[in-house]
Amino acid sequence: MTRARKAPRLDLDAVALDPRTRIVVCCGSGGVGKTTTAAAIALRAAEQGRKVVVLTIDPARRLAQSMGLSELDNTPREVSGVDTAKGGELHAMMLDMKRTFDEIVSAHSTPERAEQIFANPFYKSLSESFAGTQEYMAMEKLGQLRARDEWDLIVVDTPPSRSALDFLDAPQRLGRFLDGRMLRLLLAPARAGGRAYVRVVNASFSLFTRVITRIIDVDVLRDLSAFVGALETMFGGFRERAQKTYELLKTPGTAFLVVAAPEPDALREASYFVDRLSVESMPLAGLVLNRVRTSTAPALSAERADVAAEALADQGGHEVTEAILRVHADRALLAVHDRRMRDRFTSAHPKVPLVEVPALATDVHDLDGLRSVAEALAGI
């Protein structure tokens, strides 16, 4: 058997307790325990004396309740039950997409203009189902929290996108849209005043309107145009802020944690993300590998346990021991699988530090559960 290369150990305490670390971003594909990881890191840093806020996107109901996040109110709330003996504090908030969007509109336009925007039929649809809205809003909220400078550490849980990369791509996509001619074309009718847009003499523009008015009717185009016009001023500032936050993420005060489970899909996403961060020179702290199944009796291999169970079955009389040996064989096989998954990742990314969190028998939904995850993360 060839010995797999061993990954450097990710020392999360060294990352999250370092006063220079101001932002920790947890990213990874859906269903790998990102939210729990983010909450556990935040709790530990708070109990070790830092003033921490954790921004979660879509926590499990009971986990949210345990952190006092029973309602969506889009502002950080102090979490009770946290050990504050060392002078730390834990605040938590759940991102409310629509409300964040509303707040941006209100903050960057006059009240009358804001009213116009809220009343536009496109606004509701846009604020709720804008492709990537969660990513923009998470980025926006992160920028706001950082600007307030009230916390030593901000821990961010990224949206459960289909791809972990969406979070990084959102600001660029917005920039592409804002710099594009599309926006100007959509704005033209509003500027030219209602239906007058047909008179604008511009080859590509008339082609555009010809096409667009065949697809959607003129009233809709006017609504859309008025809406985009109303948003225009705000969008500019929005892009600037998104870009600033993006730059902030590149500074040494930020640590990216890639979260995965020992499954091919999750690790493939993790690999993409690791490569991407390195291309963008974003500071990667390491990989958190959740739900790793281990055996408490590693000395006994699955094969030997199976053989012994067979022997007992032949002999008869030790049914329970036989069954327990099969439980062990099953578990030992899964442990081998998970180890192989981990080793495969490490051979592709030998320098990426890694920490494993063993699979828990039950789900995490209270602070004690988070503490035990945090201890596993800290290597205690």
Partner 1 sequence: MSGSSAWPEARLHVVTGKGGTGKTTVAAALALALAAGGQRTLLVEVEGRQGIAQLFDSPPLPYEERRIAVAADGGEVRALAIDPEQALLEYLAMFYSLGRAGRALRRMGAIDFATTIAPGMRDVLLTGKIKETTTRTEKGRRVYDAVVVDAPPTGRITRFLNVTAEVAGLARVGPVKSQSDGVMAVLRSPQTAVHVVTLLEEMPVQETVDAVAELRRTGLPVGAVIVNMTRPPLLPEPALARAAAGEVDLGELRAGLASAGLAEGLAPALAREAVEHAERWELEDRNRAVLSRLGLPTYELPLLPDTVDLGGLYELADRLRDSALREPTASSA
Q: Which of residues 107, 119, 182, 196 is near partner 1 by CB under 8 A?
A: 182
Q: Taking the complex as a whole, how short is the minimal distance between the CB of residue 129 and partner 1, in angstroms?
A: 5
List the x/- string, 69-108, binding to partner 1 by CB under 8 A.
----------------------------------------
Q: Is 199 in the site for partner 1 (CB under 8 A)?
A: no
Is 195 among the residues that bind partner 1 (CB under 8 A)?
no
Task: Name the minimum Å distance from CB 293 to partner 1.
Answer: 10
Q: Footprint of partner 1 on residues 272-301 (CB under 8 A)?
A: 295-297, 299-300
Backbone torsion region of residue 180, taken as left when φ is above 0, otherwise alpha when ψ lies between -120 and 50, otherwise beta = beta
Instruction: Give the C-alpha separation, 106 to 123, whole Å.
Output: 13
Minimum distance, C-beta of residue 48 to partner 1, in the bound complex (Å) = 28
Q: Give min distance, CB of 67 to partner 1, in A.
A: 15
Which of 211, 252, 281, 380 contacts partner 1 by CB under 8 A?
A: 211
Stretch of residues binding partner 1 (CB under 8 A), selected from 188-196, 217-225, 242-250, 347-355:
217-225
Write the single-letter amino acid at 57. I
Site string for partner 1, 242-271 (x = CB under 8 A): -------------------x-xxxx-x---
Q: Does 185 bind partner 1 (CB under 8 A)?
A: yes
- The minimum distance between CB 94 and partner 1, in angstroms, equals 14
Residues 160-179 that bind partner 1 (CB under 8 A): 160, 162-163, 173-174, 176-177
Q: In angstroms, what is the minimal distance from the CB of 99 to partner 1?
A: 18
Contact call for residue 201 and partner 1 (CB under 8 A) = no
The dihedral built from the CA positions of residue 303, 306, 310 and 311, taken in this order, carries a sign that is positive
Q: Show the tokens assigned to 91.
A: 């605040």
Angle subtended at Cα 179 by Cα 175 and Cα 181, rounded to the nearest 5 degrees? 135
HEC sequence for the chain: CCCCCCCCECCHHHHHCCCCCCEEEEECCCCCCHHHHHHHHHHHHHHCCCEEEEEECCCCHHHHHHCCCCCCCCCCEECCCCCCCCCCEEEEEECCHHHHHHHHHHHCCCHHHHHHHHHCHHHHHHHHHCCCHHHHHHHHHHHHHHHHCCCCEEEEECCCCCCCCHHHHHHHHHHHHHHCHHHHHHHHHHHHCHHHHHHCCCHHHHHHHHHHHHHCCHHHHHHHHHHHHHHHHHHHHHHHHHHHHHHHCCCCCEEEEEEECCCHHHHHHHHHHHHHHHHCCCCEEEEEEEEECCCCCCCCCHHHHHHHHHHHHHHCCCHHHHHHHHHHHHHHHHHHHHHHHHHHHHHHCCCCCEEEEECCCCCCCCHHHHHHHHHHHHCC
Asked if 361 is part of the footprint of partner 1 (rule: CB under 8 A), the reply reads yes
Instruction: Write down the least CB distance from residue 179 to partner 1, Å.
Output: 9
Residues 101-140 that bind partner 1 (CB under 8 A): 121-122, 125-126, 128-132
Site string for partner 1, 314-343 (x = CB under 8 A): -x-xxxxxxxxxxxx-xx-x---x------
Q: Does 348 bind partner 1 (CB under 8 A)?
A: no
Minimum CB distance to partner 1, residue 285 (Å): 23
Among 7, 12, 25, 32, binds partner 1 (CB under 8 A): 32
311 binds partner 1 (CB under 8 A): yes
Q: Does 312 bind partner 1 (CB under 8 A)?
A: yes
Binding residue for partner 1, selected from 85, 201, 215, 380, defined by CB under 8 A: 215
Write phi, then psi, for 69 (nearest 5 degrees).
-95, 55
Residue closer to partner 1, measured from CB, 119 or 182? 182
Q: Site for partner 1 (CB under 8 A): how many residues?
A: 77
